[in-house]
Structures are given as structure tokens and as C-alpha cells.
Structure 1
Amino acid sequence: MARYDSIICDLGDVLFSWSPPTSNTIPPKTLREIFSSATWFEYEKGRISQETCYDRLGHELSLNPADIHRVVEDSCASLKWDRNLANFFQELKDKNRGALHIFAMSNISQPDYDALRNISADMDWSFFDGIFTSFAAGRRKPDLGFYRYTLSQANLDPSRTIFIDDKLENVLSARSQGLYGLVYRDFTELKQSLLNLLGNPVLRGQEYLKKNAGCLTSECAGLAIQENFAQLLILDMTNDRENGTSFPATELIMIKGNGKLTTTEFPCDLDTTSLGLTVIRAKEEVAASTMDEMLMYVNEDGIVQTYFDHTRPRIDPVVCVNVLSLFYSYGRGNEMNQTLEWVYQVLLHRAYLQGSRYYETAESFLFFLYRFIGGCDNPVTHSRFYPLLKERVMERIGTEGDGLALAMRLIVCNFTDVKNDIDLQTLRGLQREDGGWDTGLIYKYGSSGLSIRNRGLTTVMAIHAIQRSNFASSSL
């Protein structure tokens, strides 16, 4: 069941926009003073008549009341309703089949409301289930009484109601009464926010993946990058082998074909090879010979290197974790003791916080470490790493990150039984109108630092994170 069943929307500067009229007698600055004056507020509350309002304002601002009347009428005449937003509201109601109710709540006087309805006679107001005005309530936003009046009259549960207004102070008051507040900036942003709040993020994400099956290509600096690593992760997370991607049985190269933005001949790497052999689960003899070869690429400290290339003696903690996953999954973890110890020291001393040579974020290290620990059947190794991994991921909650980093963090939180509603809400808010998430930072070229991204992987990770978080919540 959707969390929200009602929307309360402001009229002026949300559904309707207006232009300050050109006037030789009352400049726009003075007009704004009129609309923000205590006298005008009394008028909007229905406590004084239009004539009294204009007379008082004329006295307060040394203006001719007739001029005030004229410029207010001209302002009303300039009002235009947002067809896109009105149509979107109707689409939301149609899609939710009676389960969603939409209301208007506006600071407006009786005469101005009547004028507004006349001006927008071509607009279908029927998508509103109720319209609440300050003149009828005798209160105006941000007065708390107006919100209580509206909630009571419409019989709404504030915890299941979304409030939309262009003024922060009005949204703040709504939030203080338990409503979910959105500050309106533009239609595009509002549409995405409402789709995220009212839609099912998992189903929308899955629909995006279905529409883009076979096209979830990575990119770097605006260029499409044909590579194996992200595709293997997508396969690992979805178990969907119908995306047209095939992999060799032995050593796997990260970049397929001629390298782009890097050396033309990109060497095979232990990272992608390890991931491939654990995801695809190669035959024992193939895995054994590959691991034997990997042991030839260990440095003087006993730490396994990144490439099958002695001229590139690089080490990276995330690569090490993925190699550990391979060796432990085939019962050969004891051959990687020094690499295991280094990975533990990286975790213990938070050496991963700014990413690594090949990986962009701290979450990459934590995620692949979770993947290693989660698949490790060695109780000593598990009991040594698990408590510290839990402590380290708790430290990351609420820190800034893109969709991929947040999804990775949430997956690790779920694995370690850490509740993380903060990042879950942020991740859900990043879902785009088409159901996918924007490209997240995966890894980078070590020499240039250019980042490789994949929107499909971010979406797959986000779906998995939300599914597991929802499952954990429903199991409490």
C-alpha cells in the first residue's frame, strides 16, 4: 500500500503564475509590499471588506485606493494556470483509481478567488476533491490553525498527506503538523518528487531495466565504454542472463576491445577475473589454474596485485577483496593470508575513506568487503571482520553520496542489521522520472583518474537496496 493517499497543493505560484502589471503609479516593489502587509492578510482571512482593505492600504502607503484596486485587478488578470501540472494531477488520480485525493489550500480573499475561477474557466477543476481558502477558514498560511482546519475538514491523516507550496515558511508549518512538505521550484522537479513518493520504486526501476535490456552500457567522459566489470555486477545482482552479454571462461579483461581514454591494449586484471569466476562459477580446473597464475602476481609484502602484468605492480584494497572472494569460494583462502591481513588493516584504520586508486568511493570498499564476508564460510574470518564492518558502515550513514554509493551503503547496512532510513529516503528521492537512477561512480582509470559510470548498475543496486530494506522493515 502506498504511504501517501492525499496531496494538498497551493494555488498561487504553483498551479498558477502571474506577472506584476506595468503601472506608473504603483511599482512592483510597492505591489509586493501590499501583498505582504498585515492589512492584506486581514483581507485574505475575510475579516475586512475589499473596500476597507484598499482604503487602509492607501492610507498606510500614501496611495490612491482606486490605483490599488486597479493594479490588483490587473495582477489577477495576468494569472495563468499550468496545464502540465493540472494534467499531471489528473493522471495521478486516474492511475491511483480513487486511492489518491488532491486538495487546494490557498491564501486568497473571496473576491480574488471568484476572479480566479472566472479567469481559469477553461481549466477542469474537478481533479480537486476540495478547495480550502483563507477567507473561509479565517486563518492563513503559515498559521497552524489553517492547516488544522484543512486537515479536519478533509478528514486527512497528516502522516499520509503531501503538502506543496512555493514558500518555505508555509512548508515548514506543514511539516510541523506531520505532513510531508515539498517546496515547489518547477514542474519537472515536482513531478519527479511525486512519482517517487507515490509510485513503487522497485517496479518503476524494473520497468526501466526491462526497457533498456542489452543497452546498459558504461560511459566515461561522454563516451560509451565496453567493459565487463559492471556487466558482471549487474548479472550478479539480477541473475538475468538475457541481456546479451557473454564472457570468456578464463582471464577477464575489464575493458573489451581497444581501450578508450587509456592504453590501446588494456591488460587482463585480477579484479574482473575474480568477479567473473565467482559470478559465473567456472569449472574447478579452470578456476584452479587461474588462481595458480594469480599467485605469481604477489608483491614483496605478500599482497596480490591488480594486473596479470609484472610491469604494472599496482595494488588496490578493493581488488584484493575481490581476489579474496575468489580464493575463499574455492577453499584456498589460506593462500592469501597477507592480503587478508592488509585488507583488515585498511578497514581498521579507515584507509578507504577517500576511495582507492581504482575505486571512487568508500562505499565500494565496504560493499565488496560485505560481498566477501557474506560468502565466506570461514567462521574465524567472518567473526573478525563482521563487527568492524558494521561499525564502519554505521559511521557512513547520512554522508553525501550518489545513487550507487547510497545503494551500496544500504546493502551493507542490511547485511549488518543496521537500520538506515536516512539514506533510504535520500536514495528513493534520486529516482528519475523514467524509473532509473542517474549514473553512479563505479571505478576509474588509475593513471588519468577519469571516472567510469553505469546507469544500469546504479539502478540495479538501488532496486536491490530498497527491496532488502523494505524486507527488513516488514520483518521487524
Structure 2
Amino acid sequence: MGSHPRYTALLCDLGDVLFSWSSETRTTISSRTLRHILASPTWFDYECGRLSEDECYKRVGSEFKIEPSEIAQAFIQARDSLRSNDAFIALIRDLKSQSQNTLRVYAMSNISLPDYEVLRTKPADWDIFDDVFTSGAVGERKPNLGFYKQVLQKIKVDPHQVIFVDDKLENVLSARSLGIHGIVFDDVNHVGRALRNLVGDPVKRGQEFLTKNAQHLESVTDGGIVLQENFAQLLILEATNDRSLVNLFGHTSTWNFFRGKGQLTTEEFPFDLDTTSLGITVTKPSSAVAHSVMDEMLSFVNSDGIIQTYFDHRRPRFDPVVCVNALCLFYSHGRGHELKKTLEWVHEVLLNRAYLEGTRYYETPECFLFFLSRLLQATGDAEIHGLLKPLLRLRVQERVGADGDALALAMRVLVCDSVGLRDEVDLRSLLPLQCEDGGWEIGWIYKYGSSEIKIGNRGLTTALAINAITAMGPNIRHTSIIATD
């Protein structure tokens, strides 16, 4: 996005986050009892430096009716079990490197000075830390707010620019109450994804995903079958203006959805007006070719005046999104008036919200709204803008905040932008759906009309997500999360 990262400091717990340990010992003290000792007020005083190690063991021994020497032995064995979480530490180092060392990393732990001295002897990448704050040195412990306030004062960072990772919810809640972004450490992959999304540049990461997977951004069914098809490739090309990313089966006039034989349907699949309309508007063949194709299309208009889906009279199917894409082709060449009845039906679909459960071939309401916005962007015709744009604005505003996958959210943000709305609500939902590899989670765009097998494409979702973020402008993470005019 070209903006400075919002988060400039990362605070991490040590135990059960950056280091793991076992509460199972070879003493008479059970794992459960050992954890009860760690949660006792006496242990709290020890962690804050108010008790010596020997005095702590004596008091705990009296409280739990255990010999102090046995307690000491149990904790020696627990210390011996400490192991660094190398995968998570490597992730932090990578984040710091990618930020060009603008991200400062700190440890913040409830740990006594003696235990910390032992911990520092463990092999780990200690150089990732700009500083380490322990309860033993500070004299405060989590979740007490005083510990967090002292740390914030020492690192001199606005709490809203700080991320805090801890395995205990109560500690995270205290951090959040001060304006810190808190993450509960439950799984390395989950937390790693969250950190990359908070610290990294989503546009740069998304573009890297597209480049790395160039020519292999294929569509996939909800059953995991890879489809060799043209439609998503055309949309990716239009969204990125980068021919090197896509794999297209070139056509000079009409287009087929499939690149080759049909899959999960008849092998000899008919050419269709939907892919053809998109293919011509994106690849821009000669005017003569475009007009010749439109002439042929007009012979596939049904008795209601609605343009059909296939160049095949034996398949008299029609779909509002297909109609919109055909209108886009005709209007972009000054022939929109030839599909007057089709436009009227599209308007009725929009007016009466007939698209809310998707359409015959398209999965979500956002698909219909997105292609409508694309139609309006393709023509300056005042009549069609007057007919559709105010209503489209109302209908997309109704969708803001609704549930949706990554593709639906990206489309919604883009449609809002096209009609003069800022949809920061859905952008806020879209950003966390970026995966570790930089691409966004798959979103479903179309489906087989008969079996309703869903089809999605991570490349397309990623390309539209990048455009949605870019449309909202730099520093989006600093803005309030509302939908505004």
C-alpha cells in the first residue's frame, strides 16, 4: 500500500510461547500440583522478586504439605525440559527482517530472576529481542496493568502500535484494555498468519503470491478438482493487466469456458456468450471481430428478449450475470440499445433483489453486483447510469457487513468504491483472510448449473483483494472501520 506499518513493536511471552516446558517430573509432585504451585500467591511474590528462591520453596512446601527439597528438585527438572520454539522464533526473525528492522521485538514474561538466568543458558536465537522485561526485574507481573504500563513507558511506543502475544487469555485481555493488539497463542500457524497480516504489506505479499504462481493460477472445485478454464484467467488479466500471470487458450472471436475439453460435463462443451463477452472486452480484438460476434449473439435472444448463455439453441439457458456481461460488451461498442429487453430484466433483478441467493451459474449476490459495476465502468451512457447506478449504490450498501468469503468481500469493497462508498467494514474482514503464502483464501465465483459444484480461484480472489485494498488508499489500517459516503 506504500504506507508505513501500523505496528512497530511486538511483545511476546516466553513460557509456552517462545519456549515450551514439561510439568511432568520424576518427583512425587504431580503435573497438576506443579501448575497449582505456579498459580499460588507465594509464587507470584517470588516471580516479582519479593521472595528468595529458598524462602519461596519453604512457604510453598508448608502450603502444599511437600518437602521444600522435593519442590526444588521438581523445578530443576522443569527447567531442564525447557526448549525453544524455533519455528515461532524463526517467524519473528523473518518478520523483523521483512520490516527492514523497523519492527522492534520484546519479551515480557512472568519469571523470577533465578529462573530467567537459567533460561538464558538455553540455546535460542536471543538476538531477535531488542529487550526482555521480566516480572522479577520490574517487580510487577501479568495480568496486572502496572507491568504493561512500565513496559510501554520504557519502549516509548504508542500502545495502538504494539502487538502482544501470550498463551493466557487474561494476560491478553489486560493488554487489549490498554489499546494493545492482543493475540492468544494457540497454534504456531494461526498466530504466524495473524502476525504476517498485521505486520506485512498485504498488497506486496499478494503480488508476490501472484508472481510466484504465474501461469498456475488455476480454478478449483469445492471437491478439489483443478479446472482448465478461461473465464477466471480473463478476470485475473483484467484485474492485474499482466499477461504473464495467466494461462489462456487464445480465441479470435467466440470463446469457450474451458481450455480444451469440458470437465465434469460433456467433453464437447458449447462456446458461451458469457466467456465470449468477457474475452472480447478484456483482450480487445479488432472492431470488426467484436461487431461480427455481437451480430451472432443477437441470434441467441429468447422470446422474452433476454440474451441466452450458450451459442447452442438446444441449451436455452439464461442468467442475469451472463446478461450483464453481454450488456457490457454491447455498451462498450455503442450497441447497448440492441439489448433493451435484457437491460430491463437486469434492472428488475436488481430492483427486486432476485440475486440474493446467487444465480443459476454464479454463487454469491456479490458476483451480480460486481459485474454490474463493471458494466457501468465500461460505458459513459447516461441512460444506463441513471437507471442502474443509484439503485446499485443502495443495493450494495445493504450488503455491507454481511457474511461472505474473501472473493465476496473483495467484490463488495470494489463495488462500493465504484459508486462512491468507502466500505471499511468489509475490508477489515478481508485483510485477515490473507494466508501465509500471501494469497487470499479461495472464494467461490461460479457453479455448474445442474450439479451446483462450486468453482473458485485463489489467483482471482487475490487479484481482486489487492485491488480492493488499493482502492481504499494508503493508511487504511489507521482509519475508523465504518462504511461511509
Residues 88-137 of structure 1: CA distance to partner in whole angstroms, max 9, x if unpaired?
A: 3333334433322110001112222222223x1x3242221111112222
Residues 201-233 of structure 1: CA distance to partner in whole angstroms, max 9, x if unpaired?
A: 222222222222222222333333221111111
Q: Equivalents in 2 of 1:61, 1:301: separation in Å?
A: 85
User: Which of 208, 227, 230 in structure 2 is aligned with 1:225?
Assistant: 227
Residues 376-429 of structure 1: CA distance to partner in whole angstroms, max 9, x if unpaired?
A: 312232133223222222332333332222211121122223223333233222
Q: Is residue 2:143 matched to residue 1:135?
A: no
User: Which of 5, 9, 17 in structure 1 is aligned with 2:8?
Assistant: 5
Query: Which residue number corresponds to residue 20 of structure 2?
Result: 17
Q: Equivalents in 1 of 2:137, 2:356: separation in Å?
A: 56
**In structure 2, do the counterparts of structure 1 residues 143 and 422 end up closer, same or farther at CA, with 3 Å as the change threshold?**
farther
CA contact (8 A) 2:95 2:200 kept: no
User: Which of 298, 302, 305 in structure 1 is aligned with 2:301?
Assistant: 298
**In structure 2, do the counterparts of structure 1 residues 32 and 350 end up closer, same or farther at CA, with 3 Å as the change threshold?**
farther
User: Which of 363, 366, 370 in structure 1 is aligned with 2:369?
Assistant: 366
Query: How far is the alpha carbon of 1:368 from its aligned partner?
Result: 0.7
Structure 2: which amino acid aligns with 1:113?
Answer: Y
- SS of residue in 2 equivalent to 1:443: strand
What is the count of residue pairs matched by the alignment? 474
Structure 2: which amino acid aligns with 1:232?
Answer: L
- SS of residue in 2 equivalent to 1:301: coil
CA contact (8 A) 2:261 2:268 kept: yes
CA contact (8 A) 1:414 1:472 kept: no
Residues 153-173 of structure 1: CA distance to partner in whole angstroms, max 9, x if unpaired?
A: 111221222111122222222
**In structure 2, do the counterparts of structure 1 residues 435 and 258 end up closer, same or farther at CA, with 3 Å as the change threshold?**
same
CA contact (8 A) 2:230 2:249 kept: no
Residues 305-348 of structure 1: CA distance to partner in whole angstroms, max 9, x if unpaired?
A: 21122222222111111111112112222222222222222222
CA contact (8 A) 2:273 2:297 kept: yes
Structure 2: which amino acid aligns with 1:405?
Answer: A
Q: Equivalents in 2 of 1:192, 1:461: separation in Å?
A: 20
Query: Which residue number corresponds to residue 340 of structure 1?
Result: 343
CA contact (8 A) 2:407 2:465 kept: yes
- What's the TM-score once normalised by structure 1's chain length? 0.93
Same amino acid, percent of matched pairs: 53
Correspondence 1:34-433 to 2 at 5 A: 34-118=37-121, 120=122, 122-220=123-221, 221-242=223-244, 243=246, 245-433=248-436
Residues 46-102 of structure 1: CA distance to partner in whole angstroms, max 9, x if unpaired?
A: 233334433333343333333333222222221101122223333333443332211
- SS of residue in 1 equivalent to 2:120: helix
Structure 2: which amino acid aligns with 1:136?
Answer: A
**In structure 2, do the counterparts of structure 1 residues 175 and 416 end up closer, same or farther at CA, with 3 Å as the change threshold?**
farther
Q: Equivalents in 2 of 1:472, 1:394: separation in Å?
A: 23
Query: Which residue number corresponds to residue 482 of structure 2?
Result: none
Greater CA drift, 253-262 or 26-35: 26-35
CA contact (8 A) 1:367 1:408 kept: yes
**In structure 2, do the counterparts of structure 1 residues 300 and 42 end up closer, same or farther at CA, with 3 Å as the change threshold?**
farther
Gap regions ≥5 residues in structure 1:
none
Query: How far is the alpha carbon of 1:13 from its aligned partner?
Result: 0.7
- SS of residue in 1 equivalent to 2:427: helix
- SS of residue in 2 equivalent to 1:296: helix
Query: How far is the alpha carbon of 1:471 from its aligned partner?
Result: 5.2
- What's the TM-score once normalised by structure 2's chain length? 0.91
Root-mean-square deviation over aligned CA pairs = 2.3
